[in-house]
Amino acid sequence: MKITVQHEELASRMGVAARVAMSKGSNLALGGVQVHASADGVELRATNIEMGLRNPLLATVVTEGTVLLPAKLLQDVVKSLPKGEVTLEHQPATQDVLVSSGSSQFTLRTLRNEDFPTLAAPEEAKSWTIDAEALSETVAQVIRSASRDESRPLLTGVLVSVSTAEGVLRMVATDSYRLAIKTTHLESTPEEDFSAVIPARTLEEVVRISQGEKAEVVKVGSNQGQIIFIMGDTQLTSRLIDGKFPDHNQLVPKEFEHTLVFDRSELLQRVERISLLAQQSTPIRFALSTKGLKLSAQAAEVGEAVETVDVTWTSEELETGFNPQYLIEGLKSNSCKQVKLKLINALKPGLIESADESGFQYLIMPVRLGL
């Protein structure tokens, strides 16, 4: 195999491939990027078992062939090369690949092609398209709520569903301490309803790739246990997560006793200031009375922070607390100018939602307050 490619093109495509390739593990092939050169062009392939990538490379094929190289090492080498044309040439006698640009030359040992998994192809009959911007915005508003705890794999995913009758895309994510729901209206929907739990990391990568490709639409296909996203000529395959995702309709209370409306950015600034004193497990206290709202946090060995907000409150006094980081992330996830904070009592979860009815809801569990 021998190809020539412009440095900027190779560096950009390798950045995506290196993110997908497995960075740790005993299987060296999963930490590699496969460079496949044929009469149809050049393709970079990478996988970490959860995701699989096919990324076209705009290059000239001098000699066809396929090699597998360590992804992170190749990425670092490419980054270091001078701008201009880069050549990758397989040396069959030594099973090395010569990477050269200008006066720079690197000889890299190849990995075993036989150990690299075969990547799935999409099933055209089950494919549908979605507006890339709508997909990106929806992912951005729920992704923070997905769990990072690998011991609870179901919660590391996002429930993605499309209702053809409603004409909406709905994403739900939770780590059991907070739950985010975003409903987005679609201009077109698949012929059949769709529902699957997709790893959060996969959705993050789909957004990054689609933005890098400047894709207007994302094509979605599915087959047994897998989902395929196509953005331009780039294809990302992902496994789906098995299991019954928590029913958000059961978790979100149907009615709330109190509703407060805030300027989102102003409330976010106040909460961020107060959180400077909310160390470790210290909650931010919300104390509501006829005097208004008092936000506070206290750390015994550090100090105390207090802010007051003018709100109309005619009910009995209520004091509840929330995890400051979860509260901040909920406010940041919302893109609306004004938000509603809905409460029942001190021990029930609170709900942050868009005041403009744009379809974002963020349920947050309270923190039990000490004396």
Give the chain's domains with CATH numbers: 2-115 (3.10.150.10), 124-246 (3.10.150.10), 252-364 (3.10.150.10)
Give the model's pLDDT for residue 126: 67
Residues 322-339: tens digit of each pLDDT: 999 999 999 999 989 999
pLDDT at residue 262 is higher than 90? yes
Q: Tell me the three state secondary structure of residue 161.
A: strand
* pLDDT band with cut points at 50, 70 and 90 for residue 125: very low
Which are the contacts of 349, defined by CB distance < 8 A and separation ≥ 6? 253, 363, 364, 365, 366
Residues 217-232: tens digit of each pLDDT: 999 988 778 899 999 8
Which are the contacts of 312, defined by CB distance < 8 A and separation ≥ 6? none
Angle, helices 7-20 vs 200-213, to 10°: value is 170
Angle, helices 200-213 vs 132-142, to 10°: value is 140
More confident position, 178 or 150: 178
More confident position, 27 or 275: 275
Q: What predicted TM-score, i.e. pTM, was given to this entire model?
A: 0.91
Give the model's pLDDT for residue 78: 97
* pLDDT band with cut points at 50, 70 and 90 for residue 369: confident
More confident position, 345 or 368: 345
